[in-house]
Amino acid sequence: MSDIFELFKKISSSSPAQGAPEFIVAGLGNPGREYAFTRHNAGFLAMDYLTEKRNLGDLRTSRFRSLVLQTELDGKKVLLMKPQTYMNDSGEAVREAADFYKISPERILVISDDVAQEPGRMRIRRSGSDGGQKGLRSVIEHLGTDAFPRIRIGVGAKPHPDYPMADWVLGRIPEEDQKKIFSVLGCVAEAVPMVLDGRFDDAMSKFNGVSF
């Protein structure tokens, strides 16, 4: 009988490592109620939609300067993150989690807004530049590479060149765009497991041309 208890002890002591996340999915945005439905918070909205759609629970645990949820998506152990560092320092939080779990950049999926795309559109890429998105820029700087997958959610371009970009991305999503953006969040939720599974071509073919 004592041998059985010793075996249980060994299994228990090894279970945290076995249960460690293999992937990170980080939705970018700004913390605070005043930012909840702004263009810059499309990444946060995507995370909320994903967890609600898949009945995963809420991102409530505070860790890595983020709200996190450790869960499984289609059999893959995943750490879902909403960095609370504010957009421009998102990379600090992502790097902390990546370093702790020893997760390589190609297993880190970042979801952000994209002013270069119209509302109701999305784009999946395996890697690439930040495209002027400061949260992505921070992630690239702190990971030391741009070789990580990302999903970018269209929020529309500012109305004219002189319009301050900060005012635009921190502006509330107008009613006429809300339905389009919320519709595309369903596609994002469907694309995330495909990207984690390495089915980039399928995901890009299916969703990069979507428009609502």
> Is residue 83 in a domain?
yes
> Is residue 182 in a domain?
yes
| Residue positions counted in the chain | 212
User: Which one, of 173, 50, 195, 49, lies nearest residue 113 by Cα?
Assistant: 173
> Is residue 13 in a domain?
no
When pLDDT is averaged across residues 182-191 and rounded to a whole number, the result is: 96
**CATH number of the domain bearing residue 30:** 3.40.50.1470
Asked if 108 and 23 touch (Cβ cutoff 8 Å), the reply is: yes
> Is residue 89 in a domain?
yes
pLDDT tens-digit readout, 58-108: 999 999 999 999 999 999 999 999 999 999 999 999 999 999 999 999 999
State the total domains in the chain. Answer: 1
Question: Global pTM?
Answer: 0.90
Q: Which residue numbers are catalytic?
A: 40
Q: What is the DSSP string of 51-76?
A: HHHTT-----EEETTEEEEEEEETTE
Residue 212 corresponds to which amino acid? F
Give the pLDDT band (50/70/90) at residue 3.
Answer: low
Residue 145, pLDDT above cutoff 80: yes
Q: Which residues pair with 141 in a beta bridge?
A: none
What's the domain range around 62? 20-207
> Is residue 5 in a domain?
no
> Is residue 76 in a domain?
yes
> Is residue 9 in a domain?
no
Q: How far is CA 7 from CA 14, 16, 19, in A?
A: 11, 16, 18
Residue 15, pLDDT above cutoff 60: no
User: Which one, of 18, 17, 23, 21, lies nearest residue 197 by Cα?
Assistant: 23
Residue 163, pLDDT above cutoff 70: yes
Q: What does the alpha-carbon distance between residue 110 and residue 68 come to, in Å, rounded to a whole number?
A: 14
Give the pLDDT band (50/70/90) at residue 209.
Answer: confident
